Structure 1
Amino acid sequence: MSARTRPWSAALMPAAAACVVLAGCAPADEPARSDPPATNRPTNGPTFAAVGDSITDADSGDFAAGDLGPASWARYVHDAGYGFAGGWAEWGATTARMAESATSVDADALVLLAGTNDVAFGVPFAETSANLGRIVEQVGIDEVVIASVPPMDAFPEGADELNERLEELADDRGWRFVDASAGLRTDDGTFREGMSFDGLHPSEQGARVLADAIADGLRDG
């Protein structure tokens, strides 16, 4: 990662302690739910797996088991007719953590939305790209969709630079890049009004925007 990302790493350390980035934190206003997990709701469409961090896990009760929360984009991709086959997501996860934890999943496509925490901790992109390759290899799905990460209001150029590199990596590896976060961004690279509750994580409305673009990307594949 370029030198300009390192001030963001330093700035995020206090925020991490306040549950903005680090694992183990959960949204304070998670609503109570009685609806069944997504994997218990039938769908006749194609299937997808997902690997990510808090942007993917969001307020899910048990992401891997398909208990997808209202702020998880995966919930709305499922609702669009794509069966959720499983995967792995955790708050605060770097791509290294994902590569250590992701396991084989039987699905038609793998969606990766990853890298925000790598930027936060100043991880060089060479390591990020290697970790993404390990994730794809371990999950074992040939059809791979790389989704752009959402804005970072405190450091919009960090997200922009990461997304540029993710697009180049996808082109190089034969994966598909989907700029799923385009509908979340203003012209200056920050979140549009109503799309985030903290300037880093999408709101439920933002999750639906991500899901619409990811579902379109799966359809186009």
Structure 2
Amino acid sequence: MASASPDRTETPATFAVVGDSITDANSPDLANGDLGSESWAAYVVDEGVGFAGGWAEWGAQTSLMADSVTAYDADVLVVLAGTNDLAFGVPFTETAANLDRIVATVGIAEVVVSSIPPAGVFPEAAVNYNEQLEALADDRGWRFVDASAGLRSADGGFADGMSYDGLHPTEQGARVLGEAIAEELRSG
């Protein structure tokens, strides 16, 4: 008899993360679960999902993430990555290959890919990037969440109070991201 697939309406018990400064933010030791108030991961934990570890570093492009991650034991992998690839003109085909390597190395079957937040100096590029991320997630069988939707203004930039520098979310912005990601984890 085949085992039943998990009920996706239940919140997963644990999640692992891979990201850059938007994930790490002001975390004293993200890898070991000491999450800062400007890390969206802290608000996923507040929503009842256990933090199982992960990797995030300021300025990291997806190539560094793919070279640096290890396997994690968690129910779900959440990836919020690509702002630095976009900023440095990395072709999306390279980003996609790096995301594939990240997912393969981490070894968690359930993957949620989040949209990147608005990019103050190139808002339209962030919108286009997120469209490519969503298509990639669909193609790979990963879930996509536009967690950054609540951060955006009508012109595609950051809404008032959501960023302190046009690139990184404020604590309020991190909460918006985390709550949206937690909702996706619950609704699966």
Q: Does 1:105 align with 2:72?
A: yes
Q: Does 1:90 align with 2:53?
A: no
Partners of 2:135 and 2:154 lie apart in 1 by: 22
Q: Does 1:159 align with 2:126?
A: yes
The one-letter code matched in structure 2 to 1:200 is L
The number of aligned residues is 178
How far 1:53 moved relative to its partner?
0.1
The one-letter code matched in structure 2 to 1:128 is T
Q: How does 1:1-221 map to 2 (within 5 A)?
A: 46-221=13-188
Partners of 1:86 and 1:118 lie apart in 2 by: 23
SS of 1:50's equivalent?
strand
Q: Deviations over 1:131-174 (max 9, x none)?
A: 00000000000000000000011110111011000000000000
Q: Tell which has more relative contact order, 1 or 2 (C-alpha 8 A, sep 6+).
A: 2
Q: Is the 8 A contact 2:12 2:185 kept in 1?
A: no
Structure 1 outlier segments of 4+, above 2 Å:
none
The one-letter code matched in structure 2 to 1:149 is I
Partners of 2:157 and 2:79 lie apart in 1 by: 21
Partners of 1:45 and 1:124 lie apart in 2 by: 33
Partners of 1:94 and 1:124 lie apart in 2 by: 12
How far 1:188 moved relative to its partner?
0.8
Q: Alignment RMSD, CA only?
A: 1.0
Paired-residue identity, %: 70
SS of 1:181's equivalent?
helix
How far 1:45 moved relative to its partner?
6.1
Relative to the length of structure 1, the TM-score reads 0.79
CA gap of 1:45–1:166, structure 2 versus 1, over 3 A, is closer
Q: Is the 8 A contact 2:17 2:79 kept in 1?
A: yes
Q: Is the 8 A contact 2:12 2:186 kept in 1?
A: no
Partners of 2:144 and 2:64 lie apart in 1 by: 22
The one-letter code matched in structure 2 to 1:102 is V
